[in-house]
Amino acid sequence: MKKIIPQLAFTVAAVFAAGLSATSTAAADEIKLRFAHSFPTSHFIQKQAIEPWMENVTKLTDGQVTFDHFPAQQLGKSKDMLALTQNGVTDIGYVGVSYVSDKMPLSGVAQLPGSFATSCQGTNAYWEIANKDPIAKQDFADNKVRLLFSFVLEPYQIYTANKKVMTAADAEGLKLRSTGGAMDIFTRKIGAIPVRMTATETRESLSRGTLDGIIFPNQSVISYDLVPLVKYGTRGGNFGSFVVTFVMNEEAWGKLPEDAQNALTTASEDMVTEMCKNVDEGVENAIAEMQKAGIEYHELSASDLKTFTKYSDEVAEEWAKDLDDRGKPGNEVLTQFQSALSK
C-alpha cells in the first residue's frame, strides 16, 4: 500500500497538469507554461527571482507567454521536481542539484566548501561551466531538460539550537542538516553527523530536536521560519553552498517558437546576474534582522577558520575522486570550476 499511494498521487498530478495544458493552449497565439517549485510564497527566491523572471518573459513576449504557477510543493516535493519536469507534469521546475545528486552529480562542484566568498563569484563560475560539456550534457541534456537559469547561494553558515560553534571541535557529535554530497563529507570531517534532508523538512526536525543545527544560507533561515528554533550562528564561515537551477522539459522547449525561446533565454541570462547580486546584498540585512530577533553570532577568527578550512582541499579531492571512480569526470569539472573562479 505504501508504494501505491505515491504513484497514485503522481498520476493524479500528471492528469491534472495535462488537463491544464490542454485548456491553456486553446488559442494558437498564446502559450501558457506550467512552472512548479517547492519554495514558500514568502521565500526570497520566489520574490526576487521567480516572480520577476516570469514577469520579464511575459513582457518580452508582449503577453504571448504566461504561466500557471505552482509554488510551495503544490505539484510535488523538491526531490521529485526533476522527475516531474522530465515527465511533463510541469514544463519548468526548480531543481536543487543536491536533491538529485545521482542524476546531476557534476554540478555539485559549485557546492564545495571554501571555494568562493560571494554568491556572484560562485554563480558566475558555475554558469560558465554549466553551459558547456561535460555538465551541459551529463547533468542536463542526458536528463532531457534544458537549463534556463541558475545561481549559487552565498557560503553556508552553521546555525545551532543550543551550542555555540566557534571551532570544528565545537561541532563534534552535533546532528547537522546537510544537503548531501560534498557537505556530507565536510560534516563528517569536522566530527559532526550529517542528516540529509531538504530545506522544507528542517523546521519540523529542529522543533522535534532530531537536529542540533543546520548548515544553511542566511536568508533561508528567515524564509523557512527557523529563527525561533536556533540560538547561535557563525559569521565568516565557508561551509559549502547550494546550486539552484531552473530547468525546462526539453520537448516543451522544442515546441516553443523561436521568438519565445529567445525571450526565455534573455530573461534567464538577466536573472543569473541580477539574482546573485540580490543574494549578496541581502546577507547583511538578514543577519541584522536575525540578531534583532535574538540570534547570537560568532565571527570566526583566522585561527577558528583554520580548524575548518584545513578540510576543504580534502573534501574537493575526495568529491572528485569519487566521481572519477564512478566513471564521471570529477577532476575535469573541478579543474574547470577552479579555472572559472580565477577569472
Residue 281, number of CB atoms within 10 A of its CB: 11
Query: Do the bridges between strand 213-216 and strand 175-178 make them parallel or antiparallel, or are there none, so unpaired?
Result: parallel
Amino acid 29: pLDDT:
81
Return the SS3 of 8.
Answer: helix
Q: Of 214, 232, 115, 217, give the one whose Cα is nearest residue 156.
A: 217
Q: Which residue has the cell 557546492?
A: 111
Inter-CA distances, 137 with 107, 150, 157, 255, Å: 11, 16, 32, 20
What is the C-alpha separation between 203 and 226, in angstroms, rounded?
6
Report the C-alpha gap between 81 and 54 in whole angstroms.
Answer: 18
pLDDT digits (tens, 9 = 90+) for 174-192: 999 999 999 999 999 999 9
Residue in this structure with the C-alpha cell 530545506, named with its chain if needed: 199
Which 8-state DSSP code applies to residue 201? G
Please report the pLDDT score of residue 26 as a whole number. Answer: 39
- The whole-angstrom separation of Cα 24 and Cα 33 is 9
Kind of pairing between the strands at 243-249 and 145-152: antiparallel
User: Facing residues of 159 across strands?
Assistant: 214, 233
Closest by CA to 308, choosing from 233, 214, 217, 237, is 237
Q: Where are the alpha helices (DSSP H) in 155-201?
A: 182-189
Distant-in-sequence, close-in-space partners of 103: CB < 8 Å, separation ≥ 6 = 82, 139, 143
Residue 296: other Cβ atoms inside 10 A: 11
Q: Are strands 92-96 and 243-249 parallel, antiparallel or unpaired?
A: antiparallel
Q: How far is it, in rounded angstroms, from Cα 215 to Cα 176?
A: 6
Whole-angstrom distance, CA of residue 272 vs CA of residue 127:
8
DSSP code per residue over 113-134? TTS-SSHHHHHHHHHHHHTSTT
CA distance 36 to 25: 18
Smallest CA-to-CA distance from 111 within 193, 213, 183, 45 is with 183
The three three-digit cell numbers of residue 318, written as one number:
575526495
CA distance 218 to 291: 12
Q: What are the helix and strand counts (H, E) for the chain?
A: 14, 11
Phi, psi angle pair for 40, to nearest 5°:
-60, 155
State the Cα–Cα distance between residues 57 and 283, nearest whole angstrom.
27
Nearest to 93 by CA among 56, 46, 29, 38: 38
Cα angle: 290, vertex 158, 116; to 5 degrees: 100
Q: Is 243 helix (H, G, I), strand (E, B) or coil?
A: strand
Digit-by-digit pLDDT tens for the chain (343 residues) are: 333 334 434 444 444 444 444 333 434 489 999 999 999 999 999 999 999 999 999 999 999 999 999 999 999 999 999 999 999 999 999 999 999 999 999 999 999 999 999 999 999 999 999 999 999 999 999 999 999 999 999 999 999 999 999 999 999 999 999 999 999 999 999 999 999 999 999 999 999 999 999 999 999 999 999 999 999 999 999 999 999 999 999 999 999 999 999 999 999 999 999 999 999 999 999 999 999 999 999 999 999 999 999 999 999 999 999 999 999 999 999 999 999 999 9
